[in-house]
Amino acid sequence: MAKFPKDTFDAVEMLYGEGISKNFPQYGVFWERFIGRNPSSNKAEWYPVKFPQTMLTSDRARFTRWRQELSMAHYSLFCNLSGCHFQLNELVRLTVPPITKEIFFKHWECFECFYFRLGNCYYQVYHLWEIMAELKQPGLKVDQYVRIEGIIREWLYFKRRHKKFSLLRDNLTHYSRVGHRELEGGFYIPRTIKEGHATKRNQELWSNQLKRKNWRRTNVKMRLDLEESASVFNRIHTTLIRKFDKCLKSKGISIKVLK
């Protein structure tokens, strides 16, 4: 069996695979079991699929299509996580006194891009489960799927974390920078970012954010959010692997793991 990340041919996975695997090892487990590569070539070829002889051509094509999109969403999740690591590292590298206008701009550009990327990660995890629902039954919705599969608790756990990180991401999407302070040669934001008036479709005002008493340095906030999110993805991926394996067995499909 190919091992992640040492056996991947992908440039992004080679660059960030080891670091991301520390908090998100199940990404590599999914890759090893369901994606892999052909060891006889230098191409990033996925493991071949074996279908039951009685399976209709249309059903084979449908599975092939969704398997490819599942792998695409899985990889897109990784690329966005890699982008988070890159933006965090750049922010730390760039933010050194004295704080010039250029450093100010680049610091907040890294900060905002980090949360855009993190938001994309949560979207890709959601999309993975949309695909799992489609694999089970065409047109099946995620909320229906999780009830049928008995994984409502795991799904609610994911949705709560998604909402938590969406607050800061949405504030940044609609209004750049959030309320912040420059202290000790770095930038700080409030520890708490609250929802605005949801019914009016706006975000919390900066003037309210600046009244907060507790503040956290931006790079510390980013690092903690990245670590927590990776742990969330790891937990939900454990269930994803189990359910995809169940899906394959129920359809009599096997993925040939090349040695």
Query: pLDDT for 220-252, tens place per residue?
Result: 999 999 999 999 999 999 999 999 999 999 999
Show Cβ contacts of residue 240 under 8 Å, excluding neighbours closer than 6 positions.
26, 30, 128, 129, 132
Please name the residues in contact with 113: beta carbons below 8 A apart, sequence gap of 6 or more: 83, 87
What is the Rg, in whole angstroms, of the alpha carbon atoms belonging to the chain? 21
Q: Tens of pLDDT along 105-140?
A: 999 999 999 999 999 999 999 999 999 999 999 999
The predicted model gives 4-26 an average pLDDT of 92
Would you say 186 and 97 are in contact if contact means Cβ atoms under 8 Å apart? no
| pLDDT of 177 | 76
| pLDDT level of residue 174 (50, 70, 90 thresholds) | confident
Query: pLDDT for 70-79, tens place per residue?
Result: 999 999 999 9
pLDDT in tens, 206-221: 777 888 888 999 999 9
Give me the mean pLDDT over the 163-188 stretch: 82
Q: What is the mean pLDDT of the chain?
A: 89
Those residues whose C-beta lies under 8 Å from the C-beta of residue 35, and which sit 6 or more positions away, are: 46, 47, 71, 74
